[in-house]
Structure 1
Amino acid sequence: MPTLYHAPNSRSTSILVLIEEMGIADRIDVIDVTVARQDGSGGPDPRNPHPEGKVPYLTDGEDHVRERGAIVAYLTDKFPEAGLGRPVGHPQRGAYLSWLFYYQGVMEPVLVLDWAKIDHPVLHATFCDLQAAIARLSEALDGQPYLLGDEYSAVDLLLSSPFHWLPDAMPKDLSIQAWVKRCANRPALKAVTEREGAK
């Protein structure tokens, strides 16, 4: 059985939401671990096999997966019947993978750099600025409710997740605000948020 190493109210919460959305909670073992927090609390947990002591971390037999985008791809490929991914051969497979990697490789770094007020021409040449990332989302949502069209998918879950955690980062773009609200109103997110809030 795959095992998810998770710290409540952290980046790995989005993977719990994915598991809930997919209806596979009975097929994934979740182990809560501690991690170092920005406020100085927490710390490394000897039960966590992640090489850097972070979460989320997924093991599946001898295999292991880290980074949220990779875990999303792994789980949606492993359980394609849940319908939240785009399996090999699907006409949107490339777009699906592109959004997962865009989040991990561009959007999250840009959001963190903007939050930390770090700016440098090299960063803009390597990634883009936050306004460009927001414009990319807005362009994708023009005329459709979700990033891949009419149906909610795991890319919506992942790419909307920072705006649930960092409401100050919410763009003024009305199409993005409406999209984030649609994603936030999903029963799976509400259920996991309630459970996490009780811990």
Structure 2
Amino acid sequence: MSLVLHYHPYSRAAGTLWALEEAGQPYELKVVDIMKGEQKGPGLVAKNPMGKLPTLEDGDVVVTEAAAICLYLADRYAPGKLAPALDDPRRGTYLRWSFFAPSVIEPAVMAKVSGWTYKEVAAGWGNYDSMIAAAESALAHGPFVLGEQFSMADVVLGGLLRFMLQFKTIEPRAAFTGYVARLDQRPAFQRAEARNLAMRQQLGLK
């Protein structure tokens, strides 16, 4: 088993389980106690200088950043299925919305929630209202980002929207709630959720 995910169920690594389940490869979870700050220990920092989760090892390859891990798994283990081929015209759309989630949605929501003052022309995420309109447009042409075909872009985008809807940091537009409800029906997502729950129980967490 070459895939090892440095993990805690109360970290972004919990969402990475869904990507691993979709990829369909065996994997090992290596629990990192973030309550005790173990993610900042020398062992993990040597692999991920940010000292954060998720951190994925695939043999000698180390991949960090949740969205990057998702795209890596799709290209490495499910090309043409979870990731459009390099010469597929849909790959541009796939990459566009995969990067939009962490680089535009997340900071735009943080800016709104935290009351940041900034110049919109200087911020890569623009403003909240434009972000919402753009995110809705990503879902306008089908049940998934690529229309009828589910892809790892849906794990990245849908996972973030689910989290934000759960914590009420983004408005529950019908396009978002319907999309997340469709994603919740995926067997891989349900397996990941069951494993996250089991790990919380094993670790004595609520």
After TM superposition, the score normalised by the length of structure 1 is 0.84
Amino acid paired to 2:163: W
CA 1:3–1:122: 2 relative to 1, 3 Å: same
- C-alpha RMSD of the superposition: 2.2
Residue 38 of structure 1 corresponds to which residue in structure 2?
none
Does the alignment pair 1:44 with 2:45? no
CA 1:189–1:119: 2 relative to 1, 3 Å: farther
Amino acid paired to 1:2: L
Residue 180 of structure 1 corresponds to which residue in structure 2?
180
Report if the CA contact (8 A) 1:15-1:72 is conserved.
yes
Question: Is the partner of 1:126 in helix, strand or coil?
Answer: coil
Q: Alpha-carbon deviations, 1:33-84, whole Å to 9, x = none?
A: 122xxxxx43134342321210111223333211122111211111125811
Report if the CA contact (8 A) 2:101-2:160 is conserved.
no
Residue 33 of structure 1 corresponds to which residue in structure 2?
32
Does the alignment pair 1:101 with 2:99? yes
Q: Percent identity?
A: 28
Amino acid paired to 1:96: Y
Between the aligned partners of 2:95 and 2:142, the Cα distance in structure 1 is 19
Between the aligned partners of 1:123 and 1:31, the Cα distance in structure 2 is 42
Report if the CA contact (8 A) 2:23-2:73 is conserved.
no
List alignment gaps of at least 5 residues for structure 1. 36-40
After TM superposition, the score normalised by the length of structure 2 is 0.82
Q: How does 1:16-165 map to 2 (within 5 A)?
A: 16-24=17-25, 26=26, 28-35=27-34, 41-45=35-39, 46=41, 47-48=43-44, 49-80=47-78, 83-122=81-120, 125-165=123-163
CA 1:3–1:172: 2 relative to 1, 3 Å: closer
Residue 10 of structure 1 corresponds to which residue in structure 2?
11
Between the aligned partners of 2:13 and 2:191, the Cα distance in structure 1 is 15
Q: Count how many residue pairs are aligned between Structure 1 and Structure 2.
A: 192
CA 1:52–1:125: 2 relative to 1, 3 Å: closer
Amino acid paired to 1:127: W
Q: Alpha-carbon deviations, 1:3-39, whole Å to 9, x = none?
A: 2211213211221101112221x1x33212122xxxx
Amino acid paired to 1:43: G
- Aligned-residue offset at 1:170: 4.1
Amino acid paired to 1:34: D
Amino acid paired to 1:148: L
Report if the CA contact (8 A) 1:171-1:177 is conserved.
no
Residue 194 of structure 1 corresponds to which residue in structure 2?
194
Report if the CA contact (8 A) 2:54-2:64 is conserved.
yes
